[in-house]
Amino acid sequence: MASGPRILKTLRLYLHVEFAAFSKDTIGNELQTEYLKEISLDVLNLKKGKVGEILDKSSIWNWTIKEADLPDNMNAITTFKNGVVTTRLNRESLGKATRLSVARTIIHELIHAYLSLHFQYESGSATVNYPGMMKAWVASTNPDLNQVQHDEIKRSFITEIAGALMEYDQVSGSKPGDDSVYFDLSWGGLDFAGHHELTKNDKRRIQKRLLAEQFGL
């Protein structure tokens, strides 16, 4: 994390290209699989809520999203090194999932990228916006960035991910689902089993939903 604030003035969100220049051709430089390209473009054009705000915020992003061969139980991985965030999508496991589940994975990794870069380049405002994340980071002698971010996603982004998934269904032309579908999917990649605010019925329903959407059932 950055040691002091570094406010960057120009808006550029890019996958090796400027976000303003996004098209199926430019994103195709990183994503070769057609359905991943299509879903990514729909996600990156979301406008509402916190996810829309992230995509439209006034800072420079250096985020690359590409395909990779990953373990079967891993849909994606996002790494942060030398100020650059790279997301790798598992083309095999995501090939079995519903489009909504793939969108959820991309949104989840987008938030990982946002939190990493927000603290790297705007540490002053990031500390104000996410004090729990900073407190957890400082309190640990060997902090796990992925876990610290997951805890923050549970605190701050569950309803935002659900809202973004609802918007995704709208912009992609899919038939809208029940609100519980979006809420359940927003827990993908997170430890919902140990979350005290969820009931046993909630946890069973979420588990079933995630498995069904992951394998296109």
Q: What is the pLDDT of residues 30-51, one digit of tens each?
A: 788 999 999 999 998 899 999 9
Task: Give residue 9's pLDDT.
Answer: 27
Q: Residue 216: is its pLDDT beyond 90?
A: no
Residues 6+ away with beta carbon under 8 Å from 178: none
- C-alpha angle with apex 17: 13 to 21, nearest 5 degrees? 80
Average pLDDT rounded to a whole number, residues 76-81: 92
| Mean pLDDT computed over every residue of the chain | 83
Q: How far apart are CA 171 and CA 49, in angstroms?
A: 14
Q: d(Cα 115, Cα 59) in Å, to the nearest integer?
A: 12
Q: At what angle do helices 99-121 and 158-171 cross, to 10 degrees?
A: 130
Above 50 in pLDDT, residue 155? yes
How would you label 27-62 residue by residue, b for 16+ Cβ within 10 Å and e otherwise? bbebbeeeebbbbbbbbbebeebbbbebbeeebebb
The reported pTM is 0.85
Give the H/E segment covering residue 80.
Answer: strand 76-81
Asked whether 106 and 90 are in contact (CB, 8 A), the reply is no
The answer to whether 135 touches 119, Cβ cutoff 8 Å, is no
Residue range 158-202, pLDDT digits in tens: 999 999 999 999 998 887 778 999 999 999 999 999 899 999 999
- Does position 14 have pLDDT exceeding 50, yes or no? no
Is a pLDDT exceeding 90 seen at residue 156? yes
Q: Among 7-11, 80-84, 134-138, 196-200, where is mean pLDDT lowest?
A: 7-11
Mean pLDDT of 19-39: 61
Q: Is the pLDDT of residue 99 over 80?
A: yes
